[in-house]
Amino acid sequence: MDQTAPQIVTQVQPPGLDLTLTRNSWYTPCSFQTASWMIKHLPRPLTRSMAVAAGELGYRLCKHRREALRRNLTALTQNEKHRRALSRKCFHNFLRMLHDFCDCAQSGANRLNALIVERRGFEFLEAARRKAKGILLITGHLGAWELGGMVLASDGFPVNVVTLAEPTNELNEWRQKYRQHFGIKTVTVGVDKFAFVEIIQALRRNELVAMLVDRPYLNSGVEVEFFGRTTLFSAAAARVWQHTQAAVIPAFVLQLEPGQYGCYAYPPIEMTPDHTLEQNSQCIADVFQEIIREFPEQWFNFVPIWNHQSL
């Protein structure tokens, strides 16, 4: 493996947008610890209602997040009333997802398995394991992506999650602690210059590497057509595939009803060495947009992915 392979370093948003947003100030270990304590000590129906109320508060107060989400949803509907309703549902569902994430991080595998009421497509994962070239599990900001790693690790898959360095060491430590509770390894990009090598090595051990690819990585964002408009996707998955030929499998954990989720793996995306990074990344974007169309109320993209004039 070439030790000088391109670094995978994640940015929060594509460059050059007319609306850019930073991380929310509430995104701290204290927030997650407080939520976990409340879920542990209060009745779940109460904490679930509180989560929805927090989502409604976020919808009303987080003006720029709401605007970014509505912009993105124009790709799905031009009906303003429908967009407002979808935006509100997204805020509510996002807080429901965070509630259930904190619940599982606190309570462990038994609670997780109680929430996952449907599994589909796991035969694609098993088939990929038999090929012994590793599994590159790709997902996006749709549904409960953190629960996906928990599910697979609980099922015995050796899971590595590629993730951004958090704004503080305290948040990095909190995140690693709950992942280690499930046996999940964290590969932090943006800090460790050997992160790319670590990803390749994990796949060569026939392990599973999960990454979010619907936002660009520094030096690896490529243009794709997404809902008929040009935006940037990460080319990290396509680049890693070039080095490993690992199975590239989309997977999402999606809410079916409040407190009930389906964990879905989809057929491997066929990549070819004759295609460019852009072409292989376009195959990923094509699959993602069809799944988003099915679950638009769980598309938690609270940062803009297109400029206003392109809408």
Residue 96 is predicted with a pLDDT of 98
Write down the H helix ranges in the chain.
29-41, 44-61, 63-73, 80-107, 109-115, 122-131, 145-154, 169-181, 195-204, 236-244, 277-294
Q: Is residue 21 part of a domain?
A: no
Structural domain includes residue 260 = yes
Over 90: is that where the pLDDT of 54 sits? yes
- Residues 249, 265: contact at Cβ < 8 Å? yes
Residue 264 DSSP SS3: strand
Does a structural domain hold residue 18?
no
**Which pLDDT band, with edges at 50, 70 and 90, does 230 fall under?**
very high
Give per-residue pLDDT as tens, 77-93.
999 999 999 999 999 99
Q: Is residue 252 a contact partner of residue 143, using CB atoms and an 8 Å limit? A: yes
Residue 181 domain flag: yes
Has residue 2 been placed in a domain?
A: no
Query: Is residue 10 one of the residues assigned to a domain?
Result: no
Give residue 33's domain range.
28-300
pLDDT in tens, 1-42: 333 333 333 344 455 554 444 555 566 778 888 999 999 999
CA distances from 220 to 9, 123, 213, 296 (A): 8, 30, 10, 26
Express as a percent the part of the chain with pLDDT over 70: 87
Contact status, residue 278 vs residue 224, Cβ threshold 8 Å:
yes
> What pLDDT was estimated at residue 24?
57
Token pair, residue 154, equals: 């609980």
- Within-domain flag for 53: yes
Closest C-alpha among 142, 291, 278, 271 to residue 227: 291
Q: Is residue 159 situated within a structural domain?
A: yes
Domain count, the chain: 1
Per residue in 83-135, pLDDT (tens digit) is 999 999 999 999 999 999 999 998 999 999 999 999 999 999 999 999 999 99
